[in-house]
Amino acid sequence: MKSKLIKTHFAPELHIPNGTFDIDFYIKLGATENFTFKNDDGSIHVVELEIDGAIFHLHETMRGALEPITAKGVTTVIGLFVENVQEVFNRAILAGATEINPVTDYDYGYRQAMFKDPFGHYWQIQKKI
């Protein structure tokens, strides 16, 4: 019997405030929803999302973890490599993100931009150039 090859990858878990119902920002960003588990009141317990093969989860805050709004600061920066940094950055801003850094080509060989999503998570959109 042949076992299925599993490629190692990261799947970050972004914590969102308990009682969250609306995650439309991520769909407008271009994510597709793989599955969702909801609480009895219909709020999100956990949802698995994917952007061009990059899987991540939104999870209600638990296990002593903090989400950026309650923590009053950045809890992590999500680095997302994409083909067209400007296009993804523009889509994020139109969907409701806040610009942190505009698209810039750096001497170290990366095109990068950073935005804050509506839940306070920082995203660094980037491409090696």
In whole angstroms, what is the distance from residue 54 CA to residue 11 CA? 7
Q: Catalogue all structural domains in the chain, each as residue range(s) with its CATH number.
A: 13-128 (3.10.180.10)
Give pLDDT tens digits for 83-112.
Answer: 999 999 999 999 999 999 999 999 999 999
Residue among 30, 59, 56 nearest 45 (CA) = 59
Query: What pLDDT is recorded for position 72?
Result: 87
Residues with Cβ within 8 Å of 113's Cβ and at least 6 positions away in sequence, in order, are 85, 86, 89, 99, 101, 102, 103, 104, 124, 125, 126
Residues with Cβ within 8 Å of 124's Cβ and at least 6 positions away in sequence, in order, are 77, 78, 79, 80, 112, 113, 114
Give pLDDT tens digits for 23-73.
Answer: 999 999 999 999 999 999 999 999 999 999 999 999 998 877 888 888 888
Residue among 2, 1, 13, 89 nearest 55 (CA) = 13
pTM for this predicted structure:
0.86
Q: How many CB atoms are located within 10 Å of the residue 20 CB?
A: 19
Contact 44, 19 (CB under 8 A): no
